[in-house]
Amino acid sequence: MDLLLILLAMLCLILGVIGSFVPVLPGPPLSWIGLLLLQCTSAAPFNYWFLGSTALIALGATALDYYLPALGTKKYGGSKKGVWGAILGLLFALFFPILGPFGFLIWPFVGAFAGEMSHQKNQSQAFRAALGSFMGFLAGTLLKLLISLAYSGLFAQQLWRYRDVIFSL
């Protein structure tokens, strides 16, 4: 049973890292579920403080992910269309990897710019607003990625610490 929990935890951690980029998957909460599953094994001692603090961080990052693009858009005079354009640009980069890894940077900006152009007539204002939307989106994505990777590192550390007990089952 412990091995199944560990495999499910690893799957949650992988999906959590992927969820840092994919707007449909909640990255840090999925990674946190991976930590929770490891704590549910008989090998690792259940630590309420560890789980509570990491849960608060995951929930805070998820809340900030919704706030940062709006803040960047508002600061640079953008609209919600710019934020949605950045999200659609990211989805385009995921499903059509035309530009390889650079697509994750270029297409969200192009989407934000297109969204702003549909809202504003002035190209320079739309560019500035798209830049703000993109920066907020990028900040939220980076925050989620760092937290999901940190949770993966904590998982690996816990797995290494209790390896004798886990793999002797």
pLDDT in tens, 111-160: 888 988 887 768 888 888 888 878 888 888 899 999 999 999 999 999 89
Question: In this predicted model, what pLDDT tens digit does every residue of 12-26 receive, in sequence order?
Answer: 999 999 998 877 788
Which of the four pLDDT bands, split at 50, 70 and 90, describes residue 169?
Answer: low
Q: Give pLDDT, residue 76.
A: 82
Q: What is the pLDDT of residue 1?
A: 80
Between 10 and 130, the more confident residue is 10
- Single-letter code of the amino acid located at 60: G
Identify the residue with better confidence: 155 or 94: 155
| CB 163 within 8 Å of CB 41 | no
CA atoms within 13 A on the CB side of 41: 25
Distance CA 155, CA 169 (A): 19
H or E segment at 160? helix 123-161
Distance CA 133, CA 139 (A): 10
In the structure encoding, which two tokens stand for residue 152, read together? 């993966």
89 token code pair: 């640009």
